[in-house]
Amino acid sequence: MTDSPLEPAPATLAPAAVPTSGARSVPTPADEPATPAGDVPVAFQDPHYRAAIVDLLGAIAYGEMSAFDRLAEDAKMAPTLEDKAELAAMASREFGHFDRLRTRLTGLGADAYEAMTPFQQPIDSFHAHTAPRDWLEGLVKAYVGDGLAADFYREVAAFVDSETRTLIIESLEDSGQAEFVVDRVRKAIRADHRVGGRLALWGRRLMGEALTQAQRVAAERDALSALLAGGVDRPGMDLAAIGRMFTRLTENHDARMDALGLAP
């Protein structure tokens, strides 16, 4: 292990029996030098690196804002007051994550809303193409779709400084949806086995759309592409590593589907 603030953390996305959107955290290198309060980390003295981090945090921040909106909207379809309250609580936690990311972007001297703007159209387009038709589809999307996005950003977080990495991991932590969604979806399948087939198809569609979105975001933003590719002074991902990353994303998706009682 080196003293570089950009040393990648070990891969942490092996599927769990009942994975949550924040089931694994990428550990911070123990020997990474701390940054004194008020000082600019060495990594951020590189304008290209700073641009990549602003892009990355902007993408995640808009994703959190979008999650807040969708959970609040899904709460309207909830069949019981208890379910409505659970989703409202999840939405509140998502907004808390967004607020921390916004604060960090401001601390980096960026306009948080400008940083989010490039990601508004692709993320909104994803949600437009995957609008749930009912309560159960909304639950599966919150668990499976958001889980895939979180996995992707945690993979990218392995290549950033420890302070940013910690913020990303904490912002992508499960907001309570894992246990809640698994319980409600399994109950629905037990009540009507036909629900399982429909939701399994829905989960596969979400998988395809989410992977397409992740690839698009990485490819269209030069700063993020450069972050993943690395350089002479820091590691990155070659084509083989990128292939392994998408294999891990697929495996985690399959584990989530299995936790829901759905065929991946």
Render pLDDT for 75-84 as a digit per residue (tens, 0 to 9).
Answer: 888 999 999 9
Number of structural domains (the chain) is: 1
Tell me the mean pLDDT in the region 145-152. 88
Establish if 52 belongs to a structural domain: yes
Supply the pTM of this predicted model. 0.79
Banded model confidence at residue 182, pLDDT cuts 50, 70, 90: very high
For residue 41, what pLDDT is reported?
63
Task: Please report, for the domain that includes residue 132, its CATH number.
Answer: 1.20.1260.10
Establish if 211 belongs to a structural domain: yes
Establish if 16 belongs to a structural domain: no
Banded model confidence at residue 7, pLDDT cuts 50, 70, 90: very low
Sign of the torsion formed by the C-alpha atoms of 125, 130, 133 and 139: negative
Establish if 11 belongs to a structural domain: no
Task: Give the structural domain span for 124.
Answer: 43-260
Banded model confidence at residue 45, pLDDT cuts 50, 70, 90: confident
Report how far residue 161's alpha carbon sits from residue 138's, in angstroms, rounded to the nearest whole number.
34
Establish if 114 belongs to a structural domain: yes
Helix 239-260 and helix 146-157: axis angle, to 10°? 150
Render pLDDT for 136-148 as a digit per residue (tens, 0 to 9).
Answer: 999 999 899 888 8
Report how far residue 180's alpha carbon sits from residue 71's, in angstroms, rounded to the nearest whole number.
13
